[in-house]
Amino acid sequence: MRKYAALVIFVALCGLKIPVAFAQDTTLTIRAIEGLKYDVPRFVVRPGTRINLTLDNYDDMSHNLVVTLPGGRLRVVNTAIGLGADAAKLNYVPRTPDVVAHTAIVEPGKSEKISFRLDQEGIYTYVCTYPGHGFVMYGAIYVTRKPATVPALEKDPNVSANRRDDLAGHVGHQPNHPYELKYPAIYRTFMPDSGPASIAVGLTPTQAYCWDAGACRLRYAWTGGFVDLTDHWDGNGKKPSHVIGDVYFRDRGGFPIRFGTADRLPEVHFKGYQLFNRYPEFRYLVNGIEVREIIKPLPTGRGLVRYFSLGPVAGPVYFVCKSGDGVKYRPSVGKIQDGVVRLPVGTKKFTITMIAE
């Protein structure tokens, strides 16, 4: 986008009618990026410009870049698909008059430079003709003496739809789901600052927490919003989802329930969850003993109420609630001593109320 703007300004400064003889070389790098895209959606040059173009492959699959005459993209793409046994040898580039210039197949992490000159005005295309890619992976070269006539990017039919969407911004013009999200809401997704098997739970549109299904424990809680999964949903899903809002609690004590002694971490296994009025009740085994946990918002103010039920336990049970993680703890039974609650023997159910400090 910035490159495009620079070129437009450059061209604009040079006036609208430029003799071909004065056209200068231009050099640019186009990256192939994740999601069958070129990072540069389009660019503008004057007729007669020699273009020194480097295709730099940042993606995890192979691509090429083929410059086609105005209107020639789909012809070239379809011909490339039909190349048959020679396709790879030809770098998936058909030998047709529609092709102005092309790179070879550029493997991930590699780059290739090509140089070509465009003399006639028109809207040329650069496209990846690797089978299947050319229907979505392309951009436009405007060869024109009147750069002001180039349409706005988000309305440009010569730019691929996946680039127009990106550059128009994720402004919520498309719904996330075929329904309105109801709360409490659950997403299994990649969450920051947690294990890879995490669960984001939105209690209300503005109160949420992250529960780690690998470590079987509450990791953090926030207010102000829920999660934005746009980045994780995009492309191949490389990026994690984002917290919307302000994290007020972040667990620092490790897995909180201890059997026998307060300082020995137990072995945990995630057994899933059941929904009650859309609230998940997590089930997990702690040293073989089943624990159920349901988390609800604090009725007044920032905070959570955690309802625990325990299977049959022999021996003492501790709940670790160290200070310094952003909340004050209020256990329903027992007293906090040195950051640990010792539950009365035989406790089957208890709640831990966490109030933001």
Partner 1 sequence: MKTYRTIRNSCQTPLNPLKGTFKSGINAVQVPFRGFRGVWLLLTFFYSSIVAKPLFPADTITDYYEVETIQMPKGLTAETDGMAIMPDGRIVAGFHRGEIMIYNPKTKTWKLFAEGIHDPLGILAVSNSEILVMQRPELTRIKDTNGDGVADEYLTVTDDFGLSGNYHEFAFGPIRDKKGNLFIALNCASSGAGIFPEVRGKLDTLGRPGRMYSAVPYRGWIMKLTATAARTDGKLHPYASGFRSPNSIGFDANGNLFAADNQGDWLGTSKLYHVQEGRHYGHPASLLWKDGFPHVTPSKLPVKLLDSLRTVESVAFPHSRIANSPTQPVLDDTGGKFGPFSGKMLVGEMDHPYLIRLMLETVDGHIQGACAPFLAGVGLRKGNNRLAFAADGSLWLGQTDHGWAGDRGIQHVRWKGKTPLELADMKLTPTGFVLTFTQPLDAATAKQLTNYQFQRYYYEYHEAYGSKQFDVKPVPVTNAELSADGRTVTLKLAELKAGYIYELELGKLRSRTQQSLLNHLICYTLNRLQRNTQANP
- The token duo for 117 is 């000159």
Nearest to 302 by CA among 226, 247, 236: 247
Q: What is the dihedral of CA 214, 219, 222, 226, to 10 degrees?
A: 0
Which listed residue (46, 73, 102, 133) binds partner 1 by CB under 8 A? 133
Q: Is 153 in the site for partner 1 (CB under 8 A)?
A: no
Which residue number, 117 or 283, has a Cβ lying nearer to partner 1? 283
Distances in Å between the Cα of 287 and the Cα atoms of 57, 339, 342, 351 are 49, 22, 18, 21
Which residue number, 13 or 179, has a Cβ lying nearer to partner 1? 179
Residues 303-342 close enough to bind partner 1 by CB under 8 A:
none
Residues 6+ apart with CB under 8 A from 320: 253, 254, 255, 256, 257, 258, 262, 339, 340
Nearest to 31 by CA among 105, 109, 142, 132: 109
Which listed residue (28, 87, 167, 244) binds partner 1 by CB under 8 A? 87
CA torsion sign for 119, 140, 72, 52 is: positive
CB of 35 to partner 1, least distance (A): 4
Which listed residue (179, 261, 301, 338) binds partner 1 by CB under 8 A? 179
Residues 257-286 close enough to bind partner 1 by CB under 8 A:
269-276, 280, 283
Stretch binding partner 1 (CB under 8 A), from 40-48, 94-102, 227-235, 324-332: 227-235
Determine if the peptide bond prior to 331 is cis (ω within 30°). Answer: no
The distance from CA 348 to its chain's CA centroid, rounded to whole angstroms, is 42
Q: Is 185 in the site for partner 1 (CB under 8 A)?
A: yes
- The token duo for 143 is 């060869």
Q: Is 2 in the site for partner 1 (CB under 8 A)?
A: no
Which listed residue (30, 44, 51, 62) binds partner 1 by CB under 8 A? 62
The site for partner 1 (CB under 8 A) is made up of 34-36, 59-62, 81, 84-85, 87-89, 92, 107-108, 131-133, 135-136, 157, 160-162, 164-165, 173-179, 185-190, 194-197, 199, 213-214, 229, 233-238, 240, 269-276, 280, 283
